[in-house]
């Protein structure tokens, strides 16, 4: 009785309908409430994660644009090691820690294409790991937005069946007889939509932000490949000048 009065006081007629609904309808509403909590928790967690990533990526671009020599990469690499939320920083850390030493030891040996392939594949692996981390839990939003309306519909169908049974028992189809049952049936659909609509909006919004992160990663990988190609070309030109000088 107390919980019925509390719901009616807090939510008015809507709370009164929920409080006086059947046990099955209350079960559906409880499940939808839990799904709503999960949905908002995922949205909040991913929002904070993306905000940290975008903030640190902005700092990364500022530092990266100030690089004037390969000797300065060490300082940026150390910053990337501390900034674990920066997806771009993790790609650059792979470039500096793993790829660049190997490139310096093998350049000029005719294996430049192989080394650039290693850069592309290694950077793609790091980018894939970062995207998977950013997308963690986001697919749940798509699932919730799909099943919530159907759960609400299940409660609605169940409630309408109860209304028809009530009509059969009373032998009348007056509004007083079927109105409460239909209202109880429709409230589960409303609750399902309350869960699904924010989940859909959150999913699309988060996915758009993650795709923006992915574009930045592709851009950085392309810049690093261009730098490696430019370094390779410089080494080749120096070798040509040395060979030409020796011939003459």
Q: What is the mean pLDDT of the chain?
A: 80
For the chain, give the number of residues: 248
Residues 56-79: tens digit of each pLDDT: 999 999 999 888 777 778 888 889
Total Cβ atoms within 10 A of residue 242: 10
Tokens of residue 72, six digits: 């300065």
Judge whether 11 lies within some domain.
no
Higher-confidence position of 164 and 245: 164
**Domain annotation covers residue 5:** no
pLDDT at 158: 81
pTM: predicted TM-score of the whole model, two decimal places: 0.76
Which long-range contacts (C-beta less than 8 Å, at least 24 apart) are formed by 111-119?
112/232, 115/228, 116/225, 116/228, 116/229, 119/95, 119/221, 119/224, 119/225, 119/228
d(CA 143, CA 140): 5
Task: Count structural domains, the chain.
Answer: 1
Average pLDDT of 126-150? 91
pLDDT at 111: 65
Q: Cite the DSSP H helix spans in 107-137.
A: 112-134
Q: Is the pLDDT of residue 224 over 80?
A: yes
Does residue 184 contact residue 159 with C-beta atoms inside 8 Å?
Answer: yes
CB 133 within 8 A of CB 91: no
Answer yes or no: is 159 within a domain: yes
Asked if 19 and 139 touch (Cβ cutoff 8 Å), the reply is no
Contacts for 173 with CB less than 8 Å, ≥ 6 apart: 167
Return the percentage of the chain with pLDDT > 70, whole number: 77
Please tell me what DSSP assigns to residue 248.
Answer: -
Cα angle: 90, vertex 92, 96; to 5 degrees = 120
Q: Is residue 161 part of a domain?
A: yes
pLDDT at 229: 81
171 domain residue, yes or no? yes
Is 18 a domain residue?
A: no
Spatial distance between the Cα atoms of 34 and 24, rounded to a whole number of angstroms? 15
Query: What is the structure's pLDDT at 188?
Result: 85
How deeply is 123 buried, as exposed, middle or buried, from its count of CB atoms within 10 A (0-12, 13-18, 19+)?
buried
Q: Is residue 204 part of a domain?
A: yes
Position 137 in a domain:
yes
The boundaries of the domain holding residue 70 are 23-247
Tokens describing residue 144: 């919730």
Burial class (CB in 10 A: 0-12, 13-18, 19+), 29: buried
């Amino acid at each position: 009785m107390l919980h019925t009065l509390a719901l009616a006081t807090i939510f008015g007629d809507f709370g009164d309908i929920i409080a006086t609904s059947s046990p099955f309808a209350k079960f559906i509403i409880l499940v939808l409430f839990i799904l709503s909590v999960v949905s908002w928790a995922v949205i909040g967690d991913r929002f904070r994660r993306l905000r940290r990533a975008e903030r640190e990526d902005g700092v990364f671009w500022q530092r990266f644009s100030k690089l004037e020599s390969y000797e300065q990469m060490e300082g940026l690499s150390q910053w990337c090691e501390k900034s674990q939320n920066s997806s771009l920083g993790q790609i650059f850390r792979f470039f500096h820690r793993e790829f660049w030493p190997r490139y310096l030891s093998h350049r000029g040996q005719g294996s430049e294409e192989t080394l650039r392939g290693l850069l592309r594949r290694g950077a793609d692996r790091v980018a894939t790991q970062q995207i998977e981390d950013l997308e963690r839990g986001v697919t749940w939003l798509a699932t919730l937005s799909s099943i919530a309306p159907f759960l609400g519909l299940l409660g609605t169908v169940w409630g309408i069946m109860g209304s028809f049974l009530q009509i059969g028992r009373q032998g009348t189809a007056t509004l007083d007889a079927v109105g409460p049952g239909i209202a109880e049936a429709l409230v589960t659909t409303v609750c399902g939509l309350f869960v699904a609509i924010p989940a859909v909006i959150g999913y699309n919004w988060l996915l758009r932000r993650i795709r923006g992160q992915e574009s930045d990663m592709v851009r950085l990988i392309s810049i690093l490949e261009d730098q490696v190609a430019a370094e390779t070309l410089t080494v080749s030109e120096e070798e040509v000048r040395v060979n030409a000088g020796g011939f003459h």
